[in-house]
Amino acid sequence: MQLVWGLVFPGLVMLSPIWVHIGIISEAINAVPNIWTPGFWGGVEYNLIEMIRNVGFIGLGLIGIWLAWRRVGSADSQAIAANETARAANETARFAELSHWSVRFNNAANNLASASAAERCAGIYTLSEIGGELGDEYLYNSVRMLEAFIRERREGEEFEGELSLPTDVEMALSQIRNLTADTHLGPVNLNKCNLKRMRLIGRWNNFNFDSADISHAQSQSARFYNCDFGQVSSAIHFNQAIFEWSKFTASKLISDGINPTFTMCEFLQCEFYLADFTDTVFEMPKIGMCTWNYCILSGAKFRVSSLKSLKPHSIIAMAAATWTDDNPPVFLSKDDGQKITLPDLVTKLKDAMKK
């Protein structure tokens, strides 16, 4: 029976959980110093066979523990090898996927040069899909490719008689706007492009319209963040647009002949520098803290719901602009019909702030 137990014991140790191994090792270490004490064998006189049996138990137990640890180590090695295999498989799959997208990107880029409008539109849509799916690097490349496509199609030509932008150009603008709405890729460079009658709707993030022609653009509820309208000279109607941190340097935006230039627009932290707003009409504007250095506001009209709704610091900042003495900018109150020139309004607000 003792022999059977001695043979079974190591097997039980191998099958037991790791915490049992730790306990057995601890007990074995504690027991070793006591082997040679008389009390361990039942007294001063002890049976040699019993001593051998006990030592055998301890030896077999230690062998079983060693085998169990070998088993655990082997299992760990197998798990590590399996993880490495899985990682290699994932990398291979990722490489294959990137190769697939790379081929699609190149095909889409080639489609942009096609004589077929349908193929150009297909290429635009594919580049937009790639940019949206694969992260920053492909997003940047897709946006720059679409940007270059627009400039090549619309830079430096007159395009007389067009009633709207070509479908593929409008589609490219829309896809760039969607791709950059929540990113900071840097400016989308559309300077000097002929974008007459373009659709200015939705969010425009970091667009550079410097010297572009956006005459008669359809602008409805657009939001321009950090956009540059430098040297833009266009007849346009912005309806319910929001301009944040945008620049108007040496620009001249005039009425389209039917509507005011700005209707219910909001200006937040904008920079107006050398901009010409002569006779420009601002219908129900909301003006935050903007800079108006060296702007021309001769004959400009600001129609507001009430003079009391104006923010004093925002209006006082407008005094940095210039105007002719005989044609100063005017604020008109719709509520009570009150009319006051900007210089008089600034003086009135400064006096009120001193009280």
Shared-domain flag, residues 122 and 258: no
Shared-domain flag, residues 348 and 219: yes
Q: Let me know if residue 105 belongs to a domain.
A: no
| Residue whose tokens read 């940095």 | 320
pLDDT in tens, 120-164: 999 999 999 988 887 777 888 999 999 999 998 887 666 666 778
- Render 308-334 in DSSP notation, one character per residue: GGS-HHHHHHGGGSB--TTS--EEEET
Q: Let me know if residue 355 belongs to a domain.
A: yes
- Residue 315 pLDDT > 90: yes
Query: For the chain, how many structural domains are there in total?
Result: 3
Mean pLDDT of the chain, nearest integer? 81
Shared-domain flag, residues 276 and 227: yes
Q: Let me know if residue 101 belongs to a domain.
A: no
Axis-axis angle for helices 117-133, 48-111 (nearest 10): 150
The confidence score (pLDDT) of residue 27 equals 55
Domain boundary among the residues 180, 204, 236 is at 180
The confidence score (pLDDT) of residue 190 equals 92
Domain boundary among the residues 159, 180, 201 is at 180
Quick check: helix, strand or coil at residue 223?
strand
What is residue 155's DSSP assignment?
A: B
Instruction: Please compute the mean of the pLDDT values over residues 71-93 and round it to a whole number.
Output: 67
Interacting residues of 149 by C-beta distance below 8 A, sequence separation 6+: 112, 120, 124, 172
Instruction: Please compute the mean of the pLDDT values over residues 196-204 and round it to a whole number.
Output: 91
Domain with 265 in it: 186-355
pTM metric for this prediction: 0.72
Shared-domain flag, residues 190 and 335: yes
Q: Let me know if residue 99 belongs to a domain.
A: no
